[in-house]
Amino acid sequence: MCGIVGLYAKKENISANLGLHLSKMLESMSDRGPDSAGLAIFGKPIAKRTKIMVQSQFPEDDFQKLKKFLSTKKEISFSFETHSTHAVIKLDVKQKDKVINLINDTFPNLRILSVGKKMEIYKEVGRPAEVVKRFEIAKMKGSHGIGHTRMATESAVTTLGAHPFSTGEDQCLVHNGSLSNHNSLRRELMRKEMTFETENDSEVAASFISYRMNSGKTLKEALESALVELDGFYTFVVGTENGFGVLRDPIACKPAVLAETPDYVAFGSEYRALTSLPKIEKAKVWEPEPATVYFWGH
């Protein structure tokens, strides 16, 4: 199964409570996937700064070492926030590549979950209620966000197997379904020098979209090529710097509901995910068409 949610704020009253709304939405989908849960929250960018999200299995030890190590590099000015097993490093956008290389070279046990001016990814093993509490998602503000609760089918229940998967800077993907050609597609993408952390099918979808966009395609074009190249079942929600997109495979057996009001656009695997939203009873509610790319952006 798996459950997906997404919320795109058109008004301040929604963005001020984005984390709270998304937490409730994701918790309502717990029955669809109790294995792990995750969210991507797109907050306000700070001029010339970017964020690197790092995850560790042993955060107390690792993050202290990392912070100390980065402090020894006088040329790097950064701030360091920890949220349970995750840390957000905020730094000058020009120093981003250098710091990423430093982390990868010096701390092989740390995983970089995402990079971006707006996006922060939080994901862990456990039910949605535990995961949103662990990262205090309800306190977060933002223009939009997406979330996922996982019932694992194609790979192990691990933090890195949880969604969202980053597909590039300020971009990520969540997936409900299962892909049948992910092994051959992974091999193909590896030959094109894409790297993988897991055996997960959704990571292949994320990598496929990244690769297409790195090759100059727009998000819409990348998603349309997914319709041709990906075999299997999927409802994807893709979060980008400006908004979120939705794509269902042509068979469309994985459920999807969209709702729109003057204040927000919301996505849920089921209508239940939307019932906690303000004025939902007055929203335009509909099921997205198969094999059709939808997008809402600021």
* Positions marked catalytic: 2
Out of 45, 224, 270, 292, which residue is the one contacting other proteins (CB under 8 A)?
Answer: 270
Interaction of residue 292 with other proteins, rule CB under 8 A: no
Backbone dihedral angles phi then psi of residue 107, each to the nearest 5 degrees: -125, 75
Q: Which of 164, 155, 201, 196 is nearest to 180 (CA)?
A: 201
**Eight-class DSSP state of 195:** -
Interaction of residue 83 with other proteins, rule CB under 8 A: no
Q: What CA–CA distance (Å, rounded) separates 253 from 176?
A: 10
> Which span (56-64, 97-105, 162-170, 272-280) binds other proteins, by CB under 8 A?
272-280
Out of 16, 46, 156, 253, which residue is the one contacting other proteins (CB under 8 A)?
Answer: 253
Interaction of residue 290 with other proteins, rule CB under 8 A: yes
Q: Which of 129, 121, 201, 189 is nearest to 161 (CA)?
A: 201
Q: Which is nearer to other proteins, 20 or 252 (CB)?
A: 252
Interaction of residue 272 with other proteins, rule CB under 8 A: yes
Half-sphere exposure of 90 toward its Cβ, with a 13 Å CA cutoff?
15
Q: Which is nearer to other proteins, 45 or 278 (CB)?
A: 278
Q: What CA–CA distance (Å, rounded) separates 291 from 31?
A: 26
Tokens matching residue 164: 């969202």
Q: Which is nearer to other proteins, 190 or 253 (CB)?
A: 253
> Which span (4-12, 55-63, 72-80, 268-276) binds other proteins, by CB under 8 A?
268-276
Interaction of residue 252 with other proteins, rule CB under 8 A: yes
C-beta of residue 283 within 8 angstroms of C-beta of residue 259: yes
Subset of residues 194 to 223 that bind other proteins, contact rule: CB under 8 A = none
Q: Hey, how many other C-beta atoms are within 10 angstroms of the C-beta on 139?
A: 10
| Binding positions for other proteins, rule: CB under 8 A | 250-253, 255, 257, 270-275, 281, 285-287, 289-290
